[in-house]
């Protein structure tokens, strides 16, 4: 097993253990030379196997994750070195009626004071461009109704931001529910 495969598996197991993904939802990548290594299409992230190399220009291998376009676009437009895409339930729920998430918890306020919510069909260039634009000014973004994309220097850092986004969205959801306030777009 390569060092990258071990890192992918370690982070994938954390994502699964923390209920940030389920089944074979989500993907991860790391920048590598003139391209990046990404999980295979349909891979279970807690046992992803060897990642696939995708060049920044040209054709992607058929077994690369269907989200390779988004990862490529982020690497072309930013200096991020790793990406994690997950489907955390509270982040997805909160994204349904907001254009951005403003965390109320102290950790969220410190490390991700504003989380952009963007739109676009999964696997599509519209979503890829919207997420890349959001990640050029933030380290985590949520695609409305789909999931989070977190960027970092390493997969572990991107995982931490994924976990942070879910925590902040869970706190926000619960605080609004306890206060009896409905969520509202643009809050």
Can you give the residue ranges of every domain in the chain?
3-179
Q: For 112-148, how does the pLDDT look when each residue is reduced to its tens digit (9 = 90+)?
A: 999 999 999 988 999 999 999 999 999 999 999 999 9
* Per-residue H/E/C for the chain: CCHHHHHHHHHHHHHHHCCCCCCCCCEEEEEECCEEEECECCCCCCCCCCCEEEECCCCCCCCECCCHHHHHHHHHHCCCCEEEEECCHHHHHHHCCCCEECCCCHHHHHHCCCEEEECCCCCCHHHHHHHHHHHCCCCEEEECCCEEEEEECCHHHHHHHHHHHHHHHHHHHHHHHHHCCCCCCCC
Q: For 71-82, how does the pLDDT look when each residue is reduced to its tens digit (9 = 90+)?
A: 999 999 999 999
From the options 3.40.225.10, 3.50.50.60, 1.20.140.10, 3.40.120.10, give the CATH code of 3-179. Answer: 3.40.225.10
- More reliable by pLDDT, 183 or 63: 63
Q: For 30-49, how does the pLDDT look when each residue is reduced to its tens digit (9 = 90+)?
A: 999 999 999 999 999 999 99
């Amino acid at each position: 097993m390569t060092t990258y495969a071990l890192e992918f598996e370690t982070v994938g197991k954390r994502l699964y253990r923390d209920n940030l993904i389920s089944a074979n939802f989500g993907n991860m990548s790391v920048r590598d030379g003139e391209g990046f290594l990404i999980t295979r299409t349909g891979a279970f992230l807690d046992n992803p196997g060897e990642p696939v190399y995708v060049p920044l220009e040209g054709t992607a291998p058929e077994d690369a994750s269907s989200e390779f376009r988004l990862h490529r676009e982020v690497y072309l437009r930013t200096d991020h070195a790793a990406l994690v895409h997950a489907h955390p339930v509270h982040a997805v729920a909160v994204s349904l009626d907001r254009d951005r998430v403003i965390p109320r918890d102290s950790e969220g306020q410190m490390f991700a004071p504003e989380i952009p919510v963007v739109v676009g069909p999964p696997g599509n260039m519209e979503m890829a461009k919207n997420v890349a634009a959001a990640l050029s000014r933030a380290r985590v973004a949520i695609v409305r109704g789909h999931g989070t994309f977190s960027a970092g220097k390493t997969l572990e850092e991107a995982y931490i931001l994924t976990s942070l986004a879910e925590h902040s969205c869970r706190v926000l959801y619960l605080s609004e529910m306890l206060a009896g306030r409905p969520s509202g777009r643009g809050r």
